[in-house]
Chains A and B, each alone.
Chain A
């Protein structure tokens, strides 16, 4: 049995989501090959070959792969699929975009966002925003899977002894071209890999109040997130969104500020190790899952928290 992991990377380095997906592949067992498709992405391919558990990195380089558009990448994956029993990618916007396209071309019903592997055919995945867990068995010959990053600890980036093999870059599929991107610039860690996250909800009242959270984030080395309500209200961009329709996170510490705890938000953060809730409504559902709840006006509590954190030595 050989497993193909489709790497998410920026042509230089692998994203943490790729390391977690390799970890899931290790649970399946067997040879693990990592497809690194991009433009001038040799460094990322080298990095993939060094990861724990990887036997081979497959390096596909071409200008049409620079931005890993779904049309091109799916065609490349399909051309290689015959050699594999399982094809895995992270359940990030990258994997969600490309994998179903590849699955349909292979006439395979993809299994999305798995959190556990029971055996080679059987997987557990959340449905209904994580309010139910479905165990599903795939009858397809090739399993096409996306992996929930927070369900697997990243493999070590060193210690592997894989090789790098150059492969063809595949067809340049017409019809889609990259125009540009506007990536959120931040010195803070990414939401999906941050050790600490502080998120704001509708209770923040305005995007102008988010700097209060940013100050605390900088003291704790944290990422800043938001609920769907805060995104809907236009306080912050969508890439802040934690929840069923945004990012799924599981940091060591999650601080929810002015977030009531709608089902769809809990779906994105309830696997966090320690949850703190600050909300003035003591009936807010967030308190039912918070390890530490503080019933308080956030406009008093948050500045106080910031001031107090400034006085002590904190771990980053």
Chain B
């Protein structure tokens, strides 16, 4: 089984983002960037499937600026076999990413594509579902457990009310949720080995995809600030405040 896994370069989850003063976006210059945490889970799952003998090849794909190569290298150090980088400085919306990935899927013919359920920058939660739609493949979103059975896949999904299990036929698109696995740290020897693994580079035009944005970002502003309140000394004081001041209990 051949697996394609998408990895996005995002502002590290520990960084407190700052809105640019001109209101065009958030400050990303000189900010620590990392692989989107849900995509780490995707790579980990793919590598585990390979280690279990279910998968034969794991390809990591990233789309965006030149530095996305670093994100691909991280995936290679975790155990992916090779990388694909779609190089562009343009802003890519989820629909454009899904179209570009469809073009890659058409070339590579993987049996499964794994993506994170959402990227922690735009929080869109769309790309996997869109890719599945464009391919006409079934989707297993927000997966917390995957079991491959020949030409089908049992997927346990995290839904608002609990868990849902579905069975989907392969090829299919999977998006990862938090509890699917705990991603490994790449070891130093594997980081060194990753430097020798191949990364193919191409441009959106090579794939025949128009990536013109459909959304215009009018402005980006700070959210309304919430002011801290008071400290209370005792539980009794807390209850008194909740009953008589806030009147919520």
Interface residues of A (CB under 8 A from B): 67, 69-71, 74, 92-94, 96-105, 107-113, 122, 126-140, 174-184, 190, 192, 196, 220, 228, 231-232, 237-239, 241, 244-245, 247, 252-253, 263-264, 270, 273-276, 282, 287-296, 301, 304-305, 308-309, 312, 314-315
A175 contact set on B, CB distance < 8 A: 137-138, 168-169, 172
A96 contact set on B, CB distance < 8 A: 125, 129, 141-142
Query: Do residues B26 and A107 form an inter-chain contact, with CB atoms below 8 A?
Result: no
Which of A104, A129, A273, A304 is close to B129, meaning CB atoms less than 8 Å apart?
A104
Which of A70, A110, A113, A237 is close to B123, meaning CB atoms less than 8 Å apart?
A113
Query: Do residues B160 and A134 form an inter-chain contact, with CB atoms below 8 A?
Result: no
* Any A CB within 8 A of the CB of B95: yes
Q: Smallest distance from the beta carbon of A277 to chain B beta carbons, Å?
A: 9
Query: Do residues A70 and B121 form an inter-chain contact, with CB atoms below 8 A?
Result: no
Query: Do residues B160 and A247 form an inter-chain contact, with CB atoms below 8 A?
Result: yes
Which of A107, A136, A177 is close to B95, meaning CB atoms less than 8 Å apart?
A107
Interface centre among A92, A93, A309, by most chain B C-beta atoms within 10 angstroms, is A93
| One of B44-52, B54-62, B194-202, B221-229 contacting the partner | B221-229
B221 contact set on A, CB distance < 8 A: 132-133, 135
Interchain CA distance A190-B248 in the complex, whole Å? 18
Query: Do residues B219 and A135 form an inter-chain contact, with CB atoms below 8 A?
Result: yes
Query: Do residues B232 and A292 form an inter-chain contact, with CB atoms below 8 A?
Result: yes
Query: Do residues B123 and A104 form an inter-chain contact, with CB atoms below 8 A?
Result: no
Chain B 100-152 interface residues, beta-carbon cutoff 8 Å to A: 117-118, 120-134, 137-139, 141-142, 144
Interface size on B, residues (CB 8 A): 83
Q: Smallest distance from the beta carbon of B232 to chain A beta carbons, Å?
A: 5
B167 contact set on A, CB distance < 8 A: 176-177, 179
Interface residues of B (CB under 8 A from A): 11, 13, 16-17, 19, 25-26, 38, 93-95, 98, 117-118, 120-134, 137-139, 141-142, 144, 154, 157-169, 172, 177-179, 213-223, 226-236, 238-239, 241-243, 246, 248-249
Q: A69-B166, A97-B142 are contacts. A134–B217 as well, Cβ < 8 Å?
A: yes
When C-beta atoms are compared, the residue in chain B nearest to A146 turns out to be B125
Interface centre among A133, A178, A273, by most chain B C-beta atoms within 10 angstroms, is A133
When C-beta atoms are compared, the residue in chain A nearest to B125 turns out to be A96
What are 17 residue pairs bridging A and B, where the CB atoms are less than 8 Å apart in the complex? A92-B160, A94-B159, A128-B11, A132-B25, A132-B221, A135-B220, A136-B218, A139-B216, A176-B167, A177-B166, A182-B162, A244-B123, A247-B160, A253-B242, A253-B249, A305-B238, A308-B236
Which of A97, A110, A122, A315 is close to B218, meaning CB atoms less than 8 Å apart?
A122
Q: A74-B133, A294-B235 are contacts. A100–B160 as well, Cβ < 8 Å?
A: no
When C-beta atoms are compared, the residue in chain A nearest to B38 turns out to be A245
Query: Do residues B229 and A292 form an inter-chain contact, with CB atoms below 8 A?
Result: yes
Query: Do residues A135 and B218 form an inter-chain contact, with CB atoms below 8 A?
Result: yes
Query: Do residues B215 and A274 form an inter-chain contact, with CB atoms below 8 A?
Result: no
Query: Do residues A70 and B144 form an inter-chain contact, with CB atoms below 8 A?
Result: no
When C-beta atoms are compared, the residue in chain A nearest to B141 turns out to be A97
Query: Do residues B242 and A180 form an inter-chain contact, with CB atoms below 8 A?
Result: no
Q: Smallest distance from the beta carbon of B151 to chain A beta carbons, Å?
A: 11
Q: Smallest distance from the beta carbon of A268 to chain B beta carbons, Å?
A: 11
Which of B123, B133, B138 is close to A176, meaning CB atoms less than 8 Å apart?
B138
Interchain CA distance A176-B155 in the complex, whole Å? 10
Interchain CA distance A308-B241 in the complex, whole Å? 13
B38 contact set on A, CB distance < 8 A: 245
Interchain CA distance A138-B132 in the complex, whole Å? 23
When C-beta atoms are compared, the residue in chain B nearest to A192 turns out to be B160
Query: Do residues B235 and A178 form an inter-chain contact, with CB atoms below 8 A?
Result: no
Query: Do residues B95 and A291 form an inter-chain contact, with CB atoms below 8 A?
Result: no
Interchain CA distance A289-B94 in the complex, whole Å? 33
Which of B123, B159, B235, B242 is close to A128, meaning CB atoms less than 8 Å apart?
B123
